[in-house]
Structure 1
Amino acid sequence: MLEDIQSRKDHRRIAIDKVGVKDIVYPITVLDKTHGEQHTVATVNMYVGLPHHFKGTHMSRFVEVLNEHRHGIAVGSVRPILETIRERLDAVSAHLELRFPYFMEKRAPVSRAPSLMAYPCALKGSLEGDEFDLVAEVGVPVTSVCPCSKAISAGGAHNQRSQVTVNVRFREFVWLEDLIHLVESRASCEVFSLLKRSDEKYVTERAYNNPKFVEDIVRDVAQALLRDPNVTWFSVEAENFESIHNHNAYAYVEKW
């Protein structure tokens, strides 16, 4: 019989907050507001809180649990997965992070040419005692035009692509698509994978007529989230990949 080294007693009396496996690349199925479900590939991190008296944890069991749930991973399945992890590994707490590209079909604003956009999204869950915590994250590329540049220039204004990242806690189910649309509607303009010349004219003029500082973007997104009774906590950060500076502009706001 093979000895179970991980279950030996440890005498240092130091509990470990998180121990487990990182960067498992795994196919998953997530809920899709338009098509019902979507197949994508996640990078998965799985941890447990290890009591002080255990020498180690059983790493293979994380992958076993993931495999058992791979066809139904979604917002509603995070807690059952965490409960299984905690029970299977005899742990005090369990943690799960799923990071994946979420694809949405977008049509160009004038030509209506269709194309797919990938948005980096994540589900992050923790279970400790009876306390379950779940955070949904979306990363949304947008366009921003500098209001100062527009105001002081005889012609034109500098603009850049920006990345807005929103994390939310919520009471009821939340659609990733809704969070993505909320962010896109608060930028100078949204971005697209495919644009014809008529579309380029539209997005250029729309962005120019709707200039926003990085501060404006995070405040406008935060204002919209504050109005949503389903959202119990959020953080919003925006980074502008500056086109005329050798640095980026950044802003962050959090609501407890």
Structure 2
Amino acid sequence: MTAPLLPDVSLESSPVPYAYPLDWVGMENIALPIYLHNTLCPSKANAYVSLDNPNAKGIHMSRLYTRLLDFCKIKDLSLGHVKDALQDFLATHHDLSQHARIELQGEFLFEQPALISDLTGWKSYPFRLSCQLKQQKFEAELYLEITYSSTCPCSAALARDLIQKSFQDAINKEKLNPSQPDEILAWLGTTDAIVATPHSQRSFAQLRFALSPDMQSIPIKQLIHHAEQALATPVQTAVKRIDEQAFALANGQNLMFCEDALRRLYHAFVNYPDITAFDFKVIHAESLHAHDAVAQGSWQC
């Protein structure tokens, strides 16, 4: 038995009331599990094509949706896969569209080792990948957010000043004999010695990269690793006391204002291969103030 033909108003010959081309038409917030570096990433997808024919009623949205579903079958999604999908968007809209765009946003889970011990844990990194094909020119942009710790250099200097004064006061009051190293060592382990500590805060690096159109892979793991090496104090997952002590040491050896953090990232990526531009913002969520300290910078080759 032949299925009855169902009406399709998009094929009706009645004229469009207001004939204008439209920049983008499509769908947003499509649930789409994808794999990056063989890691499952729950994500949301946006898919668009331009509507360049001013007399067309609309696009074929189902063709965009079903093509996106192919991403779920790929164990390591690449920029090549995204570019192929964009080309298919245009092929299925050859009489309507000249430009196509795909955006993917979600959380990338990355298993990280502890600093010293044999523990490991998972960290989540928000990401957004935006790709478009415009007049056969492919463009790709990747956004990442990385969380790290920042210890204020000014606060560290003020804490050291108070510790020095406490040491001098103990000598003046004859509570401490400066000629006895063992006595000094024992005193340094008391709260009388470490009377102040510098303040640190959870901080965020928001990184946006323009990727080379010739790049095939999506280098999310490599970019995360490179940024965390530059900052030197990424937040940790599972830790033992030896890991916590190593983290305290890393913070003490990498005192940073927001300007310092941004310059570290700038230096790390200004000559990074296959990056054609970047726009960075760092946010230090102050523990001293009720406001944030921020710095922003960009570069283009």
**TM-score, normalization by structure 1:** 0.90
Over 3 Å counting, the alpha-carbon distance change for 1:110 and 1:59 in structure 2 is: same
- Partner SS state of residue 245, structure 1: coil
Structure 1 residue 45 and structure 2 residue 46: aligned? yes
Match of 2:146 in 1: 140
The residue correspondences of 1:102-141 to structure 2 (distance < 5 A) are: 102-141=108-147
CA contact (8 A) 1:145 1:188 kept: no
Using the TM superposition, name which of 126-135 and 46-55 deviates more: 46-55
Any residues of structure 2 matched to 1:1-256 within 5 Å, and which? Answer: 1-6=5-10, 9-30=15-36, 32=37, 37-51=38-52, 52-72=54-74, 73-89=77-93, 90-153=96-159, 154=162, 155-171=196-212, 172=215, 173=217, 175-187=219-231, 189-256=233-300
Instruction: Tell me if the contact between 2:227 and 2:268 (Cα under 8 Å) persists in the aligned partners.
Output: no
Distance in structure 2 (CA, Å) of the matches to 1:211 and 1:5 = 64
Please give the alpha-carbon distance, in whole angstroms, between the structure 1 residues aligned to 2:16 and 2:204. Answer: 45
Residue segments in structure 2 that go unaligned for 5+ positions in a row: 163-195
Q: Please say if residues 78 and 218 of structure 2, whose CA atoms lie closer than 8 Å, have aligned partners that are also in contact.
A: no
The structural deviation recorded for 1:209 is 2.2
Contact 2:90–2:99 (8 Å) recurs in 1? yes
The residue identity in structure 2 corresponding to 1:134 is A
* Maintained 8 Å contact 1:157/1:208: no
Higher helix share: 2
Larger Rg: 2
Shift of 1:227: 1.8
1:76 match: secondary structure: helix
AA matched with 2:40 = H
Higher strand share: 1
Q: Deviations over 1:27-54 (max 9, x none)?
A: 1122x2xxxx222211111111112222
Amino acid at match of 1:62: L
Matched residue pairs, number? 251
SS across alignment from 1:235: strand
Name the amino acid aligned to 1:168.
F
| Residue-by-residue CA offset, 1:153-198 (whole Å, 9 max, x unaligned) | 3332111111112222233345212211121122251111111122
The whole-number CA distance in structure 1 between the counterparts of 2:67 and 2:223 is 29
SS at structure 2 position matched to 1:189: coil
Counterpart code for 1:230 = D
Q: Distance in 2 between matches of 1:115 and 1:201?
A: 18
Q: TM-score, normalised by structure 2?
A: 0.77
Tell me, which stretches of 5 or more residues in structure 1 are unaligned?
none
